[in-house]
Chain A
Amino acid sequence: MTDLPGSPPQSTLRGWLEAPGATSPGQARAQAAWRSWQRLVANKAALAGLIVLLALIFLAVFGPALTPYDPMAQNLSERLLPPSGAHPFGTDDLGRDIMTRILYGARITLMMAALVAVIAGPIGLIVGATAGYLGGWTDIVAMRVVDIFLSFPSLILALAFVAALGPGIENAVIAIALSAWPPIARLARAEALTVRKSDYIAAARIQGASRFRLILRHVMPVCLPSVVIRITLNMAGIILTAAGLGFLGLGAQPPSPEWGAMLASGRQFMLTSWWLAAIPGAAIMVVSLAFNLLGDGLRDVLDPRDD
């Protein structure tokens, strides 16, 4: 039993990653990550989604260096120009370059989506895992709160919060996060319920592990993959909600180049200058689609059941 399978030469990085037995914690983690990566690459749609998102992040970071225009500077002599060499996506009703505004808007969109994920993900995970593991009154109270949140359509709920808090990007983020955590909590609870009676939780309990340690170190890691998948798939909805709030004038305020707000202001020129609405609309669609494809692929990568 003590012998290890014969290890092939580990001189190359690939050999090191694919060696049958890891010899250090770092190598073991790298090998696990490598296997996940290979499963992701095997799913072409997911890879396409990932590439689109990476390109978007690149554009959001380096966008200002890629365009000579200012997203806010108005130039009425160049208003409503159709797409051309100087303005690949045309200009809007105030003469601003639409491509520049899309690039700056990508920052806002990604920032909002990331903030919502960072707020709603941990809240949902903590509430769900704790409720599912502890059960009893904790579970009943937490799940009834979730039920109440889930009984409103999320956009309506977000609208109500924004109406109470006042319009603006920060409030839109808070409003969307408040409506995004309950489904995640419910999902995490379902996962926690499946493992709370498992032998490995019982084994940890008889090592003397506290409830806090059990939830944090044993229950949450099991819930995490489905929560990450859910959030990735929800990203599309979050972006649409953010754009919807912008469109209704309750999210980002003009002259901010937020995509939903751009779509809203382009609406009145839709018949004469289609690019004003079509370009931000297409941007929203592409990003939402990319998140959906990636989320689908993550299901293959992160699902622990095939291990």
Chain B
Amino acid sequence: MTPAVEIRDLTITFGQGRARVKAVDSASFRAAPGEAFGIIGESGSGKSTILRAITGLNDDYTGDVLIDGQQAQKPRTKAFFKTVQMVFQDPYGSLHPRRMIRATLAEPLEIHRFDRKDDRIAQVLNDVGLAPEFAYRYPHQLSGGQRQRVAVARALLLEPRILLLDEPTSALDVSVQAGVLNLLDRLRRDRGLTYVMVSHDLRVIAHMCSRVAVMTQGRIVEELSADALRDQRAETEYTQQLIRASRGTAHA
């Protein structure tokens, strides 16, 4: 089966001369349609950089980004964004502070010339568990969890098949994390979405994903199933360390 998302030998470098850093070093993975694929690693390991390269926010990379087996064009086309959408880590930064939620949600519909805008906005707010009145709020009137639900709603409006999730719950209180994760899980099952999810939290990844790539210092060092991760059957030393560190914080 053609993978929904595939990256091959993706390499991204920042800076020039002596300050040159390889943020991502020939990373490759495949995510099958309907699968939730996780990327885990500590901060600075290059996992978010991969997502930004896939979306084309940073198209200064070498290697291949394939969506449904097709090479993604540089720069990305509007059609690409109808297939691939992304939810950002910080819901306090990803919603325009001066625009009403309704304006934020109407924007993708305007750009792609969708009809029945108000119906679609009301429907998508309902899908993410928010009352229709939230369309008439400003971001500062919403809690973090509510904001992240709006960000998810925005990503869903174009009816994409692939959703990139950049630590979607790490900026939220523990008490609302579960709600957002369950929402994302339900949306994936209901709509047959493919997820590529980045996190530094092993438990979040183990809960959400079926397969996981482990990243450190820009390289993918191991790829394993979530079951293997839960059972602590990791092959590389780094992954075992990561598991131990995670258990340490769980007991703390």
The reply to whether B88 and A4 contact each other, CB–CB distance below 8 Å, is: no
Q: Does B72 contact A (CB under 8 A)?
A: no
When distances are taken between beta carbons in the complex, the residues of chain A under 8 Å from B95 are: 200, 203
The reply to whether A4 and B133 contact each other, CB–CB distance below 8 Å, is: yes
Q: Does B145 contact A (CB under 8 A)?
A: yes
Report Cα–Cα, A205/B80, bound state, in Å: 12
Q: Which of A21-29, A117-125, A241-249 contacts B (4 or more CB under 8 A)?
A: A21-29
Q: Does B216 contact A (CB under 8 A)?
A: no
B-facing residues in A4-49 (Cβ within 8 Å): 4, 21-25, 27-29, 32
Report Cα–Cα, A213/B86, bound state, in Å: 20
Report Cα–Cα, A202/B56, bound state, in Å: 10
The reply to whether B111 and A1 contact each other, CB–CB distance below 8 Å, is: no
A1 contact from B88, B97, B130, B138, Cβ within 8 A = B130
The interface size bin for chain B is: 35 or more
The reply to whether B107 and A22 contact each other, CB–CB distance below 8 Å, is: no
The reply to whether A208 and B88 contact each other, CB–CB distance below 8 Å, is: no
When distances are taken between beta carbons in the complex, the residues of chain A under 8 Å from B55 are: 206
Q: Which of B39-47, B62-70, B98-106, B217-225 contacts A (4 or more CB under 8 A)?
A: B98-106
The reply to whether A202 and B57 contact each other, CB–CB distance below 8 Å, is: yes
Known: A208-B81, A209-B107. A28 touches B137 (CB 8 A): yes
The interface size bin for chain A is: 20 to 34
Known: A2-B129, A2-B130. A208 touches B137 (CB 8 A): no
The reply to whether B130 and A200 contact each other, CB–CB distance below 8 Å, is: no
Report Cα–Cα, A208/B114, bound state, in Å: 13
A207 contact from B52, B99, B158, Cβ within 8 A = B158
The reply to whether A3 and B131 contact each other, CB–CB distance below 8 Å, is: yes
Known: A1-B145, A206-B81. A199 touches B108 (CB 8 A): no
Q: Does B200 contact A (CB under 8 A)?
A: no
B-facing residues in A171-225 (Cβ within 8 Å): 198-200, 202-210, 213, 217-218, 221-222
The reply to whether B88 and A203 contact each other, CB–CB distance below 8 Å, is: yes
The reply to whether A204 and B133 contact each other, CB–CB distance below 8 Å, is: no
Known: A1-B129, A1-B145, A2-B130. A207 touches B151 (CB 8 A): no
When distances are taken between beta carbons in the complex, the residues of chain B under 8 Å from A32 are: 138
Report Cα–Cα, A307/B140, bound state, in Å: 6
Q: Does B179 contact A (CB under 8 A)?
A: yes
In the complex, 25 of the A-B residue pairs with CB atoms within 8 angstroms, ordered by the A residue number, are A1-B149, A22-B133, A22-B137, A24-B136, A27-B136, A28-B138, A199-B88, A199-B89, A202-B52, A203-B86, A203-B88, A203-B94, A206-B76, A206-B81, A207-B107, A207-B108, A207-B158, A208-B82, A208-B108, A208-B111, A208-B112, A221-B98, A221-B99, A304-B97, A307-B140
Mark A residues whose CB is within 8 Å of B: 1-4, 21-25, 27-29, 32, 198-200, 202-210, 213, 217-218, 221-222, 304, 307
